[in-house]
Structure 1
Amino acid sequence: MQGYGYENQNTAYGYGMAPHGNGNELALQRQSPAGAPKPLDQLPRLARDTTAENPWPVSVLSQKYHDAVERWPASWVEGQIVEINMRRSTSGFITLRDNEQDISMSVMGYSRFVAMAREFRQGERVVIHGKPNVWPKQTRLSFVADDIRRVGAGDLKAQIDELRKKLKGEGLFDAENKIPLPEFPKCIGLICAPQARAEGDVITNVNLRWPAVDFVIEHVHVQGAQCPPEVVQAIRKLDDDPRVDVIIVARGGGSFEDLIGFSDEAVVRATAACRKPIVSAVGHEDDWTLIDLAADLRASTPTDAAKKVVPDVHEQWQLVTNAWQRMNLRMESMVSNEQRLIEGYANRPSLTHPHTMLDPYQRTVDDAVLRMRQGLIRIVDDASMTVEKLHASLTALSPQATLNRGYAVVQTANGRVLDDPVDVRQGDQLTITLREGALLANAIGPADNAPDTD
């Protein structure tokens, strides 16, 4: 930075150098509160004038960098967006990568630039206009942008998009191929980087939610050329492990390039071919990779994956408690209903006074008996009257009535009624029936002096 002088004469710095010993050793001492800060005119004006005994403070050097960079002209720069954050309306940040070489730079902008950059996404090629700037507090160089324009889709994004279309056409992302996650997994296969924060996030949150879970962990590279083959091998290994119920592929956030390994075709095909359910938890919520489309479930973060893979033991206990309470209430309600039903039966007159059940039938029987008695009486009366009439007729026509008036019936020995004396010979035995009994007599002959009946 030689050749750039510091021209702000109103600034002073409270650091000074004092000789110590024979002059070969120096001691840096702070000014006392009562001492005045060292004025600017006592500091070297140019970088070439600084010495070990009379150096610039960090703040002076940082400010000189700032002033030097401030005089640089504005320029247009072309590159590919590998990371973008425009959540705030007042400021935003972009990481811009060179189109050919692995070189990146930080770009920041304010309200107007944020409004323009909101529509841009990772992987797009852009040209940005702005000026370089040094933030003195941390002596950090950045590019303050005021305009951004789209050049075309970035090469990486274009390649990934073509691969996405190809794999989608093969049906690798179809919803009907998704495997549902087990409700209560016993063992989780975890693919992550060694000693990664993602590993701790998954294990910690799983143990907090569902402690009765074991882990089979496969450590792999999560970026770079080694990432795809190691992830594929880990997926196949866990898929063949009979202990594993579900697999989580976890990685923390990173730039678009850092996550590119999880959009590798081999990784996507291995994920789609896995017989066990796979949860992808790569990057943050705004990041995306092709493994998210092939996985059976996509989690926004490793912590979110832990929450989706296992249930919350407290929630499950609450569900069990609620179910138990509902069951008890239902049983109590059923028992109460049955008790009320039994009490209703017990209080019915048919049980408290069983004879009341027979009353209707008894009345029917009594009515029938009465009707039968009346009917029989009428029948008997009618029969009696008939008998009396017949008896009177019989009496009137009976020979006994004639006998009662003093007449007699004479019968021969063979029982024939004798009505002519000539039919009797002398000596014939005759039976004479009177009103009261009968007599036996022998005929001695006809009576000559018999009275004339005429």
Structure 2
Amino acid sequence: MTNNQHTNATSDGAQTTDGAHATAAPRAAEPSPDAPWPVSQLNAKVKQWIERLGHIWVEGQVTQVNMKPSWKLSYVTLRDVEQEASVQVTLSTSTLRSLTTPLNNGDRVVMYGKPAFYAGRGSFSLWVTRVRHVGIGELLARIEELKRALAAEGLFDPRLKRPLPFLPRRVGLITGRGSAAERDVLSVAQDRWPAVQFEVINTAVQGPNTVPEILAALEKLESNPDVDVVIVARGGGSVEDLLPFSEEALSRAVSRMTTPVVSAIGHEPDNPVLDHVADVRAATPTDAAKRVVPDVLAEKQYVMELRQRAAGALRSWVAGEKRSLSDLRSRPVLADPLLPVTRQREIIEEALQRKDRALGMTVREKRNQITSLKAQVNALGPSQTLARGYSIVQVVPRDGSGPAVVTTVNDVQPGSQLRIRVADGAITAAAMAVQAAPGGTEQDTTKTE
């Protein structure tokens, strides 16, 4: 394309020349090893595409301001507040000097400008015409909105809070280099438990580098299996100084941690978003050290009290058991172990005595009965009759058989041998004669001796 022929490019790639009808022109050939683009053509195409964006609003944090009164243009570096990303900003020095509040490093601002690409040196910049500081009220409103969003997602749920270890092997500490927060945490922890170990990572605690550096430190401590708990500590400061601890990227990174995280940012009134996401919120760095590291003297005292309580409880238990044993031993069955046997023996002896008494009574009764019967028998028997003067006459047969009582005269023949029993003995005699009762037959016999 020559200077004496003005060319207008259309959106579909066709070209028209002044005084001539539009004619279709072939698209530019793609670059290749044989037909590469020159640098100027590359920069021109990049410039063409970049400048299509038009004017935009961009928010970030100022990290560097290069301005001199004698310069027509000034240069500012604007950095993302959550990630490692920055952009060079170009604006007129008069615009910069006309700001009611001077632009300083760390300021949170919103800029209005147009992306520009300088083809001569192949550099990108944002040409800015308007700069506005982000107010504290607006920042606080954004923080509250972020809190509501994260709470709705459940990042503040108490059930997700991880418990702190009783005695951590190693404590990770993320804080500013040489800061009062670092000294407070380390000194208090060492006083409470001298053997505790720390892995300290110093990062920026305010400004645009805060969030990226803390994210890197959290990742490093999370990958260390020896670290049992992490403390993120910073001393007090203004609302602007504590803004990095309310960034969404930091809050989400802490919520994904498996290692418990303690937030110790600022003082008691300060309340960044990190306090709600962390597992434990400490009012101050000193409070964080007290929450994470137990007091060895207090623990020893507590152990001593527990031992004393255990010893007292054991003594009380032993005393109670002794009383129980004494009560058991005082019972008759244990005071005299043979008492059941003795009682059974007494019962048996008493039963024997009752049996003997009953048997004796029975024997006496039977004896009395026998005596009575004997008296009756004697009263009816021949002895009593003999005692009254009667006698029993028996005949002794000649055949040698036993004597037979004479009950009738027919049992005796004259001359029969008789045996006469009297009360005190027996008399042998011979029948002289046999005489029947009146009305009977009378025979005279000869008496024999």
- With normalisation by structure 2, the TM-score equals 0.55
Relative to 1, partners in 2 of residues 1:339 and 1:453: Cα closer, same or farther, differing over 3 Å? farther
CA distance in 2: counterparts of 1:453 and 1:331, whole angstroms: 122
Equivalent AA in structure 2 for residue 231 of structure 1:
I
Partner of 1:237: 220
Relative to 1, partners in 2 of residues 1:101 and 1:267: Cα closer, same or farther, differing over 3 Å? farther
CA distance in 2: counterparts of 1:431 and 1:228, whole angstroms: 159
Relative to 1, partners in 2 of residues 1:231 and 1:397: Cα closer, same or farther, differing over 3 Å? farther
Relative to 1, partners in 2 of residues 1:207 and 1:424: Cα closer, same or farther, differing over 3 Å? same
Corresponding residue to 1:182 among 165, 168, 171: 165
Equivalent AA in structure 1 for residue 253 of structure 2:
A
Relative to 1, partners in 2 of residues 1:156 and 1:282: Cα closer, same or farther, differing over 3 Å? same
Corresponding residue to 2:250 among 258, 267, 290: 267
Partner of 2:261: 278
Q: Is the CA contact 1:410–1:433 (under 8 Å) kept in the aligned structure 2?
A: no
CA distance in 1: counterparts of 2:178 and 2:287, whole angstroms: 19
Q: Is the CA contact 1:409–1:434 (under 8 Å) kept in the aligned structure 2?
A: no
Partner of 1:158: 141
CA distance in 2: counterparts of 1:329 and 1:348, whole angstroms: 29
Structure 1 position 195, deviation (Å): 2.3
Relative to 1, partners in 2 of residues 1:341 and 1:260: Cα closer, same or farther, differing over 3 Å? same
CA distance in 2: counterparts of 1:248 and 1:395, whole angstroms: 129
Q: Which moved more, 1:405-414 or 1:254-263?
A: 405-414
Equivalent AA in structure 1 for residue 391 of structure 2:
G
Corresponding residue to 2:279 among 286, 296, 305: 296
Partner of 2:236: 253
Structure 1 position 424, deviation (Å): 9.2
Q: Is the CA contact 1:248–1:280 (under 8 Å) kept in the aligned structure 2?
A: yes
Structure 1 position 330, deviation (Å): 3.4
Q: What SS does the corresponding residue of 2:238 show, helix, strand or coil?
A: coil
CA distance in 2: counterparts of 1:102 and 1:165, whole angstroms: 31
Corresponding residue to 1:450 among 430, 435, 439: 435
Partner of 1:327: 310
Structure 1 position 314, deviation (Å): 1.5
Corresponding residue to 1:191 among 174, 190, 197: 174
Relative to 1, partners in 2 of residues 1:449 and 1:440: Cα closer, same or farther, differing over 3 Å? closer
Partner of 1:407: 392
Q: Is the CA contact 2:393–2:419 (under 8 Å) kept in the aligned structure 1?
A: no
Relative to 1, partners in 2 of residues 1:439 and 1:194: Cα closer, same or farther, differing over 3 Å? farther
Relative to 1, partners in 2 of residues 1:270 and 1:436: Cα closer, same or farther, differing over 3 Å? farther
Confirm or deny that 1:386 pairs with 2:390. no
Equivalent AA in structure 2 for residue 175 of structure 1:
P
CA distance in 2: counterparts of 1:248 and 1:356, whole angstroms: 75
CA distance in 1: counterparts of 2:215 and 2:438, whole angstroms: 158
Equivalent AA in structure 1 for residue 203 of structure 2:
V
CA deviations over 1:131-177 (Å, ceiling 9, x no partner): xxxxxxxxxxxxxxxxxxxxx98221122111111111111101111
CA distance in 2: counterparts of 1:418 and 1:374, whole angstroms: 50
Q: Is the CA contact 2:175–2:203 (under 8 Å) kept in the aligned structure 1?
A: yes
CA distance in 2: counterparts of 1:428 and 1:239, whole angstroms: 152
Partner of 2:69: none
Partner of 2:187: 204
CA distance in 1: counterparts of 2:428 and 2:292, whole angstroms: 137
**How many residues matched?**
308
Superposition map of 1:356-371 within 5 A: 371=354
CA distance in 1: counterparts of 2:151 and 2:101, whole angstroms: 29
Relative to 1, partners in 2 of residues 1:355 and 1:156: Cα closer, same or farther, differing over 3 Å? closer
Q: Which moved more, 1:200-209 or 1:399-408?
A: 399-408
Question: Can you give the 5+ residue segments of structure 1 that lack an aligned partner in the other structure?
Answer: 1-97, 105-122, 124-151
Relative to 1, partners in 2 of residues 1:155 and 1:398: Cα closer, same or farther, differing over 3 Å? same
RMSD: 4.7
Question: Can you give the 5+ residue segments of structure 2 that lack an aligned partner in the other structure?
Answer: 1-98, 109-134, 440-449
Q: What SS does the corresponding residue of 2:303 show, helix, strand or coil?
A: helix
CA distance in 2: counterparts of 1:99 and 1:278, whole angstroms: 41
Structure 1 position 102, deviation (Å): 4.7
Equivalent AA in structure 2 for residue 236 of structure 1:
E
CA deviations over 1:47-66 (Å, ceiling 9, x no partner): xxxxxxxxxxxxxxxxxxxx
Partner of 1:222: 205
Q: Is the CA contact 1:407–1:435 (under 8 Å) kept in the aligned structure 2?
A: no
CA distance in 2: counterparts of 1:221 and 1:266, whole angstroms: 16
Q: Is the CA contact 1:411–1:417 (under 8 Å) kept in the aligned structure 2?
A: no
Q: What SS does the corresponding residue of 1:275 show, helix, strand or coil?
A: coil
Q: Is the CA contact 2:136–2:240 (under 8 Å) kept in the aligned structure 1?
A: no
Q: Is the CA contact 1:186–1:212 (under 8 Å) kept in the aligned structure 2?
A: no
Structure 1 position 417, deviation (Å): 7.0
Partner of 2:129: none
CA deviations over 1:95-151 (Å, ceiling 9, x no partner): xxx9987569xxxxxxxxxxxxxxxxxx9xxxxxxxxxxxxxxxxxxxxxxxxxxxx
- With normalisation by structure 1, the TM-score equals 0.55
Partner of 1:5: none
Equivalent AA in structure 1 for residue 378 of structure 2:
T
CA distance in 2: counterparts of 1:453 and 1:382, whole angstroms: 50
Structure 1 position 264, deviation (Å): 1.4
Equivalent AA in structure 2 for residue 378 of structure 1:
M
Partner of 1:172: 155
CA distance in 2: counterparts of 1:409 and 1:220, whole angstroms: 157
Q: Which moved more, 1:152-161 or 1:260-269?
A: 152-161
CA deviations over 1:7-57 (Å, ceiling 9, x no partner): xxxxxxxxxxxxxxxxxxxxxxxxxxxxxxxxxxxxxxxxxxxxxxxxxxx
Superposition map of 1:112-123 within 5 A: none
Structure 1 position 418, deviation (Å): 7.2
Q: Is the CA contact 1:411–1:418 (under 8 Å) kept in the aligned structure 2?
A: no
